[in-house]
Structure 1
Amino acid sequence: MAEAEVIVRLRTPQRPATAGTTGVLDVGSLLERWFGVTAEPLHPGVDDPALVGWQRVAVPAGVDAEAVATALRGHPAVEAAYVKPPADLP
């Protein structure tokens, strides 16, 4: 189970099958290489260009979620990355 979640917005949304050198595949490679985590679509199966570029990263205990978000913000394909705040209890 993830301890934290990082939300990512790509600058130019691309499908993984067509991703170029600064697209989804490069971001995924950075995540796996540096932190041992992967990104997945926040809205799987959608074709809406406004939603395709959103990704989520489940960050396990022992991995610094803020470091993941900071590294992602430094990637040229990433427009924004932030650690999702915990949900409030009702």
Structure 2
Amino acid sequence: MAKAEIVVQLRTQSPAELTGPVGAARPADVHGWLARRFGVTAEPLHPGGDPDSARWLRVGVPAGADAEAVAAALRARPDVEAAYVKPPADLP
């Protein structure tokens, strides 16, 4: 079974949200949370420094892991707008 890929869109946050209470979810927290909870990492979907593009991440999920469960957990986070498992590019 091939490695799965999840595409994630982070929510746009206002300055008040970025300086909100301690413990409030922030986009930067997604990286550490993924590593701690699922042992996976996120990388920019469109590297290059554009602030709008920085909201999009790619998460590689190893073969045998439940990519749908990872995507569902991401969608449950308040700092995530959307997360879906990318369909395979090749025919099975």
TM-score range, shorter chain: 0.7 to 0.9
Q: Are positions 1:37 and 2:40 aligned together? A: yes
5 Å matches for 1:4-83?
Answer: 4-12=4-12, 21-47=24-50, 49-83=51-85
TM-score of the aligned structures, taking structure 2 as reference length: 0.78
Gap regions ≥5 residues in structure 1: none
Contact 1:35/1:63 (<8 A) preserved:
no
Secondary structure of 1:25's match?
helix
Q: Partner letter of residue 30 of structure 1? A: W
Pairwise CA RMSD: 2.2
Gap regions ≥5 residues in structure 2: none
Q: Which has the larger radius of gyration?
A: 2
Q: Partner letter of residue 72 of structure 1? A: L
Q: How many Å separate the matches in 2 of 1:42 and 1:67?
A: 20
Q: How far does the alpha carbon of each residue in 1:48-76 deviate from its partner, in whole angstroms, 9 at most, with x for none? A: x3322000001111211001100000111
Q: How many Å separate the matches in 1 of 2:72 and 2:33?
A: 12
After the TM superposition, list the runs of 4 or more consecutive aligned residues in structure 1 that deviate by more than 4 angstroms.
none
TM-score of the aligned structures, taking structure 1 as reference length: 0.79
